[in-house]
Amino acid sequence: MSNYIRKGIVAFIAIVAAIALLMPYKGMAAGMSLEKVSESPIGEGTSLLKYRHVINGKASNVFVTRVNLNNPYVEVGPIYGTGGKLTVRQNVKKMADERGAIAAINADFFRMDRKGTPFGIVLDKGKLVSSMGKINNWYSFGLLNDKTAIVSHLGFNGTVQAPDGTTAIIQGVNKEEYNPTNDKSHLNKINLYTSDFGATSLGAIKGYEDAVEILVVNDRVKDMRIGNPVGYSIPQGGYVLWGHGVGKQYLLSHFKVNDPVTVTLQTTTDFPVGDRELYSAVGGHMLLVKDGKALTKIPSDSIGGNQPRTAFGVSQDGKTLYMVVVEGPNKSRGVTLDELAQLMLKLGAYNAANLDGGGSTTMVARYPGDTQTTLLNTPKLGAAMRAVPTGLAVFNTAPAGEFANFLFTNGSKGVVGQPITLTVKAYDNHYNPYTLNPADITWTANPADGTFNKNVFTPKRSGTITVTGEYRGVKKSLNLSITAPEVTDIIVSPSPLALRSGGQTSFSVSLKTKSGQVISASPGMVKTSLTAGLGTLQGFTIQAGQTSKSGELVVTYNNIVRKVPVTVGTRWSFWTNADNLTTLSYHTIPASISTNGSFRQTTDGEPVKASGKALRLAYNFEGSSNVDMRFAYGRFGSSPLLMPGQPLGMKLWVYGDNSLHWLRAELVDAKGKTHYVDLAKQIDWTDWKEIEASFPAGVAYPVALKSLYVVDEEDSTLEPQGTVYFDEISLEYPANTAPVTPPPAPANPTGFTDIKGHWAEATLIEMYKKGIVSGITPTKLGPSVAVTRGQFVTFMDRAFGWTKNNPAKAQSPFKDKLPDYAKASILAAVEKGIVSGFDDGTFKADAPISRAQMAVMMHNAIKKGYGNANKPATLSPSFKDASSFPAYAVESIRFLSERGYVSGDANGGFGPNRTANRAESLVVLDRLMKSF
């Protein structure tokens, strides 16, 4: 669901729900059918079902997790955030695996343009993680302490009491700004934040810059701040009271440091719970089924029509839970909310409610024997799983039990003489994973069919061969399909082989068949021999001798012989220093922290090993979660640096920062395959140190150096920032090869003197050669010169050829005169709907173009087919100056920045009103052309 839809969803639903006519449903409508495709247990009291749901001839896949809450080993509750932090969203699979769930679905609605706290409740085993939003007509999942599931409209009451006995209302717990029914969540309100919210409290956010925050520890005021932009780091057991307007005045006038604070928080329910208590809960949406009747004309907010949907339902006694996902486009029809209500009733729900659907719809489950969950449905339009704040999950709390069953996990195809490793997964009598070493299974087969070495089977003949495994009375058989292809050639890789003295090198052998198929061979399938004195041969591994020597490796299959030259001994040859490496760029994962670092040549006073320059990689991983790995890349321009000859390895001088981060190099070979080379597992030194690394076997030459980069590993506690320097790169070659002369530094072919070393030099040269831009003088291209509106449209025309053979014929609609050089281009762009003028009827071709105007023109061009409109959004930039974006350009800036066409500046802003220069405009246009 788009963030724009989510922003208005709460207020919209409150209005529509109040007037909606909810009619009971009495049976499956004509043209509908529901067929069970499969059903299997996945845990104690938990079964996974799949249905085929057909409406008017169009089918949808329906996935159901059915849970028996009477089972003592079943537990149901919310999953949320990452590491217990609500605002660190992740997808449902990651949340489920982190908590050890056996099945899970996405739950609540949230704002995608914020950190993403849910609108509804998160109650985890009695702990209130996030209060229920004050939204009428939304229903939540609840679990009482007697393990009865309910569908209920939940509410929240909160108060804070001051030392003078006065009280004030607490609007919510751990909420970002949202629109409650007939109210505002933070305007003139007090909200409370705990350590479950995230790394810090809410702080002074946009529109509430003067809000006050009071840090409370051990129920006493520890600190108070007004306009705190970063928020407090909240200790366990502490909390923050956030106040604005009237709420702010109450907090400031009734509390001071060291005062005691009393807070009361209560969740209410419209379900008659008696003496029971609400134990767990997660927010939902509109009611679908009430007291055994499917509702109709259910408000669908702005997400109407046939969509992927997520829902939950409970049986009449509250002891059976149904977690349901309906798959949507592109593999299924999807359903409307009314159709979802009918489906939930048919599945057995007595009461049911909708959950967040669309692109958030996700169901994962852990199959017996697996240790992690598997995604069941295809997300909307085949997109990746969306990061969401909450989910509803099922847990199997049974202790480790006795072995129950095992399943084969290896493939069933093989080749005569090629060993097949039989692998399995197993589970116990509670459906928990059971550790079973396949070598402990008793394996048998007909002796004429092949032989076993523990769980490794080597077939002797072609055809179907049955192998059988037995463990603790459980016997399973697997039919193997074995072929005996007609081999015409032997392929050895790498070839030739170059070995370091005393080093060890492995090679691979493949057999090419008459039909063109390439089969990976094992040592038992071929015969091998090595020239005496080169070293020893064990399987497909050579242990080289200490003496430099040349010879050959001989590989034989039947009557086919392949001889591979082998050389023992290598030498090093200097390749390049940093003096001529100027087309450098900096990239990160996640991309949102790319403004925190840089990759460039050194300047005066910075470390240099030799010659004139070194390379400086400054990185800072702050601003991103340390749960996943983080990367800072120093890349060598748009094209990697091609290495001469066939090098075996590289070494370079590195000035370390003692950060203990992982240092690697990224190579691209002749087949376009990326190879990663470990330079240092830890940067544990300062000053200059020469680092040596070998290239992986199987590199296809020629090979090129794409980047040098720093890695911050998962759950890192290392210092997040640092700086390393690189200089003097040498390459390793076989000793018997002639020295390779490094290629000369490319000269600037254009003759322009003002772009040497410029960050956009390569692009500027490329655009000049294509005739898109000309110099401002014979020796200057003017990369920093401002671009006018007319010039930018002319650049676009030259890039896409609008007027090349078809000059625009329309008359100018503008009051002001268009310059002759740009007139045809502007009129062509107007005809195509790509540009327009100002409200006063002028175009202002000679006025400097702002970055916002440039973004709108680019976006319009993409929508008209001049660019890739289907390029997926891979970035989530957050610009500090987003509040200053002109309304007409907000959508265009967002679309382009999420897809990497445009980026911000070093200060974290976009600069929408800043004039674009020639370098900027040509770089973004180049990106547009290359996506076209």
Q: What is the mean pLDDT of residues 192-205?
A: 95
Q: Using CA atoms, how far apart are residues 857 and 889, in angstroms rounded to an integer? A: 10
In tens, the pLDDT along 826-852 reads 998 998 899 999 888 999 998 999 999
Q: Which residue has the higher pLDDT, 159 or 414?
A: 159
Q: Using CA atoms, how far apart are residues 129 and 175, in angstroms rounded to an integer? A: 10
Q: Which residue has the higher pLDDT, 418 or 47?
A: 47
Q: What is the pTM of this model?
A: 0.61
Per cent of the chain over pLDDT 90 is 62
Report yes or no: 259 and 221 within 8 Å, Cβ to Cβ. Answer: yes
Instruction: Note the pLDDT of residue 624.
Output: 87
- Short-list 441, 445, 438, CA closest to 423: 438
E strands, 713-866, where?
721-734
pLDDT band at residue 782 under the 50/70/90 scheme: confident
Q: Using CA atoms, how far apart are residues 861 and 921, in angstroms rounded to an integer? A: 14
Instruction: Note the pLDDT of residue 748.
Output: 54
Burial 484-521 (b: 16+ CB within 10 A, else e): eeebeebbbebeebbbbeebebebebebbbeeeeebeb
Instruction: Note the pLDDT of residue 10.
Output: 39
Instruction: Note the pLDDT of residue 703.
Output: 93
Mean pLDDT, the chain, rounded, equals 89
Q: What is the mean pLDDT of residues 890-894?
A: 91
Asked which of 81-90, 253-262, 749-758, 881-890 is least confident by mean pLDDT, the reply is: 749-758
If one counts every other C-beta atom within 10 angstroms of the C-beta of residue 479, the result is: 9
pLDDT band at residue 610 under the 50/70/90 scheme: confident
Q: Rounded to whole angstroms, what are the CA distances from 319 to 106, 117, 125, 288, 348? A: 21, 29, 18, 19, 12
In tens, the pLDDT along 72-102 reads 999 999 999 999 999 999 999 999 999 999 9
Contacts for 589-592 with beta carbons within 8 Å, 24 or more apart?
A: 589/629, 589/630, 589/631, 590/624, 590/630, 590/876, 591/874, 591/875, 591/876, 591/877, 591/900, 592/623, 592/624, 592/875, 592/876, 592/877, 592/878
Q: What is the mean pLDDT of residues 611-621?
A: 88
The set of residues, in sequence order, having a beta carbon less than 8 Å from that of 319 and lying 6+ positions away, is: 68, 69, 70, 147, 148, 149
| Amino acid at site 306 | N
pLDDT at 760 over 90: no
Report yes or no: 244 and 211 within 8 Å, Cβ to Cβ. Answer: yes
Q: Using CA atoms, how far apart are residues 640 and 421, in angstroms rounded to an integer? A: 39
Q: What is the mean pLDDT of residues 247-251?
A: 98
pLDDT at 746 over 60: no
Report yes or no: 121 and 140 within 8 Å, Cβ to Cβ. Answer: yes
Report yes or no: 911 and 881 within 8 Å, Cβ to Cβ. Answer: yes
Q: Rounded to whole angstroms, what are the CA distances from 199 to 172, 213, 263? A: 18, 15, 22
Instruction: Note the pLDDT of residue 245.
Output: 97
In tens, the pLDDT along 623-643 reads 888 777 899 999 997 788 999
Q: Rounded to whole angstroms, what are the CA distances from 547 to 351, 570, 667, 735, 849? A: 80, 11, 30, 11, 68
Q: Using CA atoms, how far apart are residues 449 and 467, in angstroms rounded to an integer? A: 9
Report yes or no: 427 and 400 within 8 Å, Cβ to Cβ. Answer: no
Instruction: Note the pLDDT of residue 26.
Output: 40
pLDDT at 4 over 60: no
In eight-state DSSP terms, residue 242 is E
CA geometry: angle 403, 407, 412, nearest 5 deg? 155
In tens, the pLDDT along 708-744 reads 999 998 878 899 999 999 998 999 988 777 555 544 4
Instruction: Note the pLDDT of residue 749.
Output: 52
pLDDT band at residue 107 under the 50/70/90 scheme: very high
Instruction: Note the pLDDT of residue 291.
Output: 97
Instruction: Note the pLDDT of residue 740.
Output: 55
Instruction: Note the pLDDT of residue 28.
Output: 53
Instruction: Note the pLDDT of residue 237.
Output: 87
Q: Rounded to whole angstroms, what are the CA distances from 231 to 196, 220, 226, 263? A: 14, 18, 10, 20
Q: Which residue has the higher pLDDT, 35 or 570?
A: 35
In tens, the pLDDT along 159-184 reads 999 999 999 999 999 999 988 887 89
CA geometry: angle 400, 404, 408, nearest 5 deg? 115
Instruction: Note the pLDDT of residue 698.
Output: 74
Instruction: Note the pLDDT of residue 301.
Output: 64
Instruction: Note the pLDDT of residue 738.
Output: 58
Q: Using CA atoms, how far apart are residues 577 and 643, in angstroms rounded to an integer? A: 13
Instruction: Note the pLDDT of residue 22.
Output: 38
SS3 193: strand
Q: Rounded to whole angstroms, what are the CA distances from 208 to 172, 695, 769, 898? A: 16, 55, 51, 27
pLDDT at 611 over 90: no
pLDDT at 898 over 70: yes
SS3 927: helix
Asked which of 338-352, 466-480, 706-720 is least confident by mean pLDDT, the reply is: 706-720
Q: What is the mean pLDDT of residues 599-610?
A: 85
Number of helices and strands in the chain (H, E) = 10, 58
The set of residues, in sequence order, having a beta carbon less than 8 Å from that of 893 and lying 6+ positions away, is: 852, 855, 879, 885, 902, 910, 912
pLDDT band at residue 771 under the 50/70/90 scheme: confident
